[in-house]
Structure 1
Amino acid sequence: MHPKDLNIADFTYELPEAKIAFFPLTQRDASRLLVYQAGTITTGTYRHIDQYIPEHSLAVFNNTKVVEARILFKKPTGGQIEVFCLEPHESYADITTAMAQQGKVLWCCLIGGASKWKSGQVLTRSIAGPKGETVLEARFIEKRSDSFLIELSWTPAFLSFAEILHATGQIPLPPYIKRIADKADEERYQTVYAAHDGSVAAPTAGLHFTEDVLKKLHAKNIQTDFVTLHVGAGTFKPVKAAIMNDHEMHAEFIVVTPGLIRKIAGHQGHPLIAVGTTSLRTLESLYWLGAKLLQDPDCFSSELPHVDQWDPYEESLQQYTVTDALEALAAHLSEKHSGTLVAKTQIIIAPGYPFKIADALVTNFHQPSSTLLLLVAAFIGDDWRKVYDYALANDFRFLSYGDGSLLWRG
């Protein structure tokens, strides 16, 4: 069956609210770890995840950083309007460029209380800080199909938009965590290796890792490296269509160095572990980008490199070796004298997907009827039910602040 014909109703399970983790554990690496390999399930903790990974493996993490994307504005009448910054306007080359804008920026947003925002009304928020007062203004530009285009401007104008968000915004917890983010969330809803501003949701598989755990991996001769995928709110987008053909997958920016692309090309024969579904989507996207270049060397000459959601299921793109595809991608970057690959991926990984790069996946337990659950089902097959039944029966904590798993592909 082609993944387009999959029925999302076949990928659901009963998730009691009591199984959802609404707060993180006191210690990151105390989270429980379910290990699935060749049909067998064992359990441990993240503190000892190195015991379940062979030496000479390569573990790849997503080092994106969650930004304070929720901004609350007060109207003169006392009412409140929430502006949730989703992604930059398409006129910016990438999120890094948009985050560096000074003085003003265009951003696609969700608006809480949009009906209360009268046409022409400018929303203002003032914050007193150590360097004086920061004033942020929001102007409604246009309504789009699934968001609003907002112009945000501020003084002092020399501040970047990233600095403005840090000063005026709040960490956006997932919608199913129905509470206001507190001071602890500023640290705990962020990985210890977060480096690049741009996500509105954390790459949650990485939340369990500490500096001590990373040191243990290195001590066992397990290499670590990083990609950047800026997680959008679309990661929580429910699948409302009956079949996957009618579901539009969200697109996200990825940033990868040529050095990592070459490292993966030379790592064949040793296990590669994707830490998180976002890392997995990024790594697999590298193959398809390279395959598209092999098929058409000029395919990215006039646009940002991208992977469409159904590209991986085109047989003509599946014929190349991983090494050939990655070397083509690295050569393209070299020709362009580019120190990084910046691309967009809309890849959807569902049962029937032909995996090319990842051998294992570290991931949390995901919502029923979600594209993330489809990804897990693609990775380990029908045993996803066995894994989730075991986790529910043995009191594992679910979703973003919950426990997690190390899943080995057959």
Structure 2
Amino acid sequence: MGLGESEPKRIPRLPRRALDPMRRSDFHYDLPPDLIAQRPLAERAGARMLMLEEPAFAPRDRMFADLPRLLRPNDLLVFNNTRVMRARLYGRKETGGQVEILVERLLEPDEALAHVRASKSPKPGSRIDLAAGIGLRVMLREGALYRLRALGATFAEIMSTQGHIPLPPYIQRPDEFADEARYQTLYARREGAVAAPTAGLHFDAAMLQRLDDLGVGRAEVTLHVGAGTFQPVRVDDLDRHEMHAEWLDVDAEACARIETARRRGGRIVAVGTTSVRSLETAAADGQLKPYRGDSRLFIRPGYRFRVVDAMVTNFHLPESTLLMLVAAFVGYQPMMNAYRHAVAERYRFFSYGDAMFLARQGRD
């Protein structure tokens, strides 16, 4: 649908009664497919940026290059330093059928949990051949995942030689050489993700230097993004949604930097929803402290944020938990109005798309 052909459907409004539960369908919006970015821009920092902040939360069109003007000395940016694995593998079953594997989590050097796509589900004990002398043994099924054992090499070696960058399902093309660098943040260093923390893709060396010169601090956390981040919410009753688990690490150094920024009057600005979930998980009992382990934190309207004051983020899929998170951050109606504005103004959506800058509703 072109911009002038017809009006997008009306965004649903917040239920009238405060006690009415929100439904998955409340987070639907219509997105023309041609607005889904299929490739990155020539320059990392060249994206547009939609800004929402108090008091009105009316959308304002900016450029990502304007970010230093929105920050001030003593603010602290919190980055997710996860690194995307070459987690997509292609092989064949012993019967000759084609198999696509997406490694979700490494358990041991030779064991991993993975999604496996094939015409027929592989049986425990069967083998998947990847290359001469290299393959995978199917150990058992654990829910939607399979436990696999590497044969002839470690998983790290297999992914290094046979793996592909796991571009998201809405990017309708095979991975290319350029994706090796562009689907990775400049500061990525702890390998373990199957998807990039995409808000961080906008930061280039020049932008980081500008922020350093301004006196904006930096801290790092780790959340290894799993394939579940792309899974739609399948139940309309949000109380019944089972959140996927992702491993994260918020260390003592990050906590100390946040405390220092707070004492100096700075804001905590999360780069991406993964940084938000990391910090809010670590403060789940009311006080921020180091945390390492899995999180199933589901942030939706009504959630009380404990750490994050502002965030940089990209645009998110309709009816997704990430759209629900950002709606909780600035309010349901302002966020859905902002998405309608972004569609009308033809922003670029999702992983290789444009950015948003959000200042939290009702922050202290």
State which of 67, 75, 78 in structure 2 corresponds to 1:49.
Answer: 67
Map Cα deviations across residues 323-345 of structure 1 (whole Å, 9 max, x no partner). xx23xx35xxxxxxxxxx42221
1:2 deviates by 9.3
- What residue identity is the alignment partner of 2:312? V
Cα distance in 2 for residues equivalent to 1:253 and 1:369? 23
Show structure 1 runs of 5+ residues with no match: 93-97, 128-134, 292-319, 331-340
In the other structure, the counterpart of 1:180 is 174
1:53 deviates by 1.2
Map Cα deviations across residues 155-195 of structure 1 (whole Å, 9 max, x no partner). 3xxxx533431221111111111221111111111111110
In the other structure, the counterpart of 1:310 is none
1:374 deviates by 0.3
Cα distance in 2 for residues equivalent to 1:121 and 1:11? 42
State which of 29, 34, 38 in structure 2 corresponds to 1:13.
Answer: 29
1:3/1:72 CA distance change after superposition, 3 Å: farther
Contact 2:123 2:138 in 1 (8 A): no
1:8 deviates by 0.8
Contact 2:40 2:182 in 1 (8 A): yes
SS at match of 2:283: helix
In the other structure, the counterpart of 2:346 is 395
Contact 1:65 1:197 in 2 (8 A): yes
Cα distance in 2 for residues equivalent to 1:409 and 1:153? 49
Map Cα deviations across residues 314-366 of structure 1 (whole Å, 9 max, x no partner). xxxxxx5xxxx23xx35xxxxxxxxxx42221111100000111111111111
Cα distance in 2 for residues equivalent to 1:179 and 1:4? 42
Whichever structure has more helix as a proportion of its residues is 1
In the other structure, the counterpart of 1:29 is 45
- What residue identity is the alignment partner of 1:63? N
Answering whether residue 274 of structure 2 is matched by residue 278 of structure 1, we say yes
SS at match of 1:54: coil
1:375 deviates by 0.4
State which of 126, 131, 149 in structure 2 corresponds to 1:126.
Answer: 131
1:266 deviates by 3.0
- What residue identity is the alignment partner of 1:110? H
TM-score (norm 1): 0.78
Cα distance in 2 for residues equivalent to 1:10 and 1:115? 36
In the other structure, the counterpart of 1:249 is 243
State which of 194, 201, 223 in structure 1 corresponds to 2:195.
Answer: 201
Map Cα deviations across residues 26-46 of structure 1 (whole Å, 9 max, x no partner). 111101111111123322222
In the other structure, the counterpart of 1:299 is none
Cα distance in 2 for residues equivalent to 1:284 and 1:77? 47
SS at match of 2:353: coil
Cα distance in 2 for residues equivalent to 1:370 and 1:396? 19
Map Cα deviations across residues 236-256 of structure 1 (whole Å, 9 max, x no partner). 111010111111001111112
RMSD: 2.0
Answering whether residue 252 of structure 2 is matched by residue 229 of structure 1, we say no
Q: Which is worse superposed, 115-124 or 53-62?
A: 115-124
Aligned residues: 340
Map Cα deviations across residues 128-153 of structure 1 (whole Å, 9 max, x no partner). xxxxxxx4221111223212222223
SS at match of 1:115: coil
Cα distance in 2 for residues equivalent to 1:184 and 1:394? 28
Contact 1:3 1:351 in 2 (8 A): no
1:117 deviates by 4.2
State which of 253, 257, 271 in structure 2 corresponds to 1:263.
Answer: 257
- What residue identity is the alignment partner of 1:109? A
SS at match of 1:198: strand
Contact 1:162 1:197 in 2 (8 A): no
- What residue identity is the alignment partner of 1:270? G
- What residue identity is the alignment partner of 1:152? A
State which of 301, 304, 316 in structure 2 corresponds to 1:351.
Answer: 301
SS at match of 1:14: coil
SS at match of 2:45: helix
Cα distance in 2 for residues equivalent to 1:353 and 1:194? 29
State which of 137, 145, 150 in structure 1 corresponds to 2:135.
Answer: 137
Cα distance in 2 for residues equivalent to 1:15 and 1:236? 16
